[in-house]
A = this chain, B = another copy of it.
Amino acid sequence: MKKTATRLADGRELIYYDAHGDAVRDAVDQRPLDPITTRSGIRHDPLLGDDVAVASHRQGRTYHPPADECPLCPSRDGRHTEIPAADYDVAVFENRFPSLAGESGRCEVVCFTSDHDASFADLSLERAGLVLDVWADRTVALSRLPAVEQVFCFENRGREIGVTLGHPHGQIYGYPFVTPRTRRMLDSVAAHHERTGRNLFDDVVAGELADGERVVIDGEHWTAFVPYAAHWPYEVHLYPKRRVADLTELDDAARKEFPQVYLELLQRFDRIFGEGEPPTPYIAAWHQAPFTAVNRRDFALHLELFTIRRTSGKLKFLAGSESGMNVFINDVPPEAAAERLREVASK
| Residue A248 lies at the interface, judged by CB distance under 8 Å to chain B | no
Looking at the assembled complex, report how far the CB atom of A106 sits from the nearest CB atom of chain B, in whole angstroms: 13
Are the C-beta atoms of A179 and B52 separated by less than 8 Å? Answer: no
Given contacts A175-B325, A184-B49, contact A156 B319 (CB under 8 A): yes
How far apart sit A99 and B330, CA to CA, in the bound complex (Å)? 8
| Residue A45 lies at the interface, judged by CB distance under 8 Å to chain B | yes
Residues of B within 8 A of A92 (CB): none
Max count, chain B CB within 10 A of own CB: residue among A48, A179, A189, A327: A327
Which residue of chain B has its CB nearest to the CB of A40? B329
Are the C-beta atoms of B319 and A50 separated by less than 8 Å? Answer: no
Residues of B within 8 A of A200 (CB): 46-47
| Residue A321 lies at the interface, judged by CB distance under 8 Å to chain B | yes
Are the C-beta atoms of B52 and A330 separated by less than 8 Å? Answer: yes
| Residue A231 lies at the interface, judged by CB distance under 8 Å to chain B | yes
Are the C-beta atoms of B325 and A285 separated by less than 8 Å? Answer: yes
| Residue A188 lies at the interface, judged by CB distance under 8 Å to chain B | yes
How far apart sit A163 and B314, CA to CA, in the bound complex (Å)? 12
Residues of B within 8 A of A287 (CB): 324
Residues of B within 8 A of A192 (CB): 46
Which of the candidate stretches A120-128, A251-259, A332-340 sits at the interface with the other chain? A332-340
Residues of B within 8 A of A156 (CB): 319-320
Are the C-beta atoms of A336 and B173 separated by less than 8 Å? Answer: no
Interface SS of chain A: mixed
How far apart sit A63 and B331, CA to CA, in the bound complex (Å)? 14
| Residue A267 lies at the interface, judged by CB distance under 8 Å to chain B | no
Looking at the assembled complex, report how far the CB atom of A263 sits from the nearest CB atom of chain B, in whole angstroms: 20
Are the C-beta atoms of B230 and A329 separated by less than 8 Å? Answer: no
Residues of B within 8 A of A293 (CB): none
Are the C-beta atoms of B319 and A283 separated by less than 8 Å? Answer: yes
Residues of B within 8 A of A321 (CB): 53, 99, 152, 154, 173
Are the C-beta atoms of B327 and A179 separated by less than 8 Å? Answer: yes
| Residue A311 lies at the interface, judged by CB distance under 8 Å to chain B | yes
| Residue A297 lies at the interface, judged by CB distance under 8 Å to chain B | no
How far apart sit A326 and B323, CA to CA, in the bound complex (Å)? 11
A324 interface neighbour in B152, B162, B230, Cβ under 8 Å: B152
How far apart sit A53 and B333, CA to CA, in the bound complex (Å)? 10
Are the C-beta atoms of A329 and B283 separated by less than 8 Å? Answer: no
Which residue of chain B has its CB nearest to the CB of A316? B162
| Residue A44 lies at the interface, judged by CB distance under 8 Å to chain B | yes
| Residue A346 lies at the interface, judged by CB distance under 8 Å to chain B | no
| Contacts A50-B229, A285-B323 supplied; 7 other A-B pairs, CB < 8 Å | A48-B184, A52-B231, A152-B325, A154-B321, A156-B320, A173-B327, A287-B324
- Give the 6 A-B residue pairs with the shortest CB-CB distance, closest first: A162-B317, A285-B324, A45-B229, A179-B325, A43-B229, A154-B320
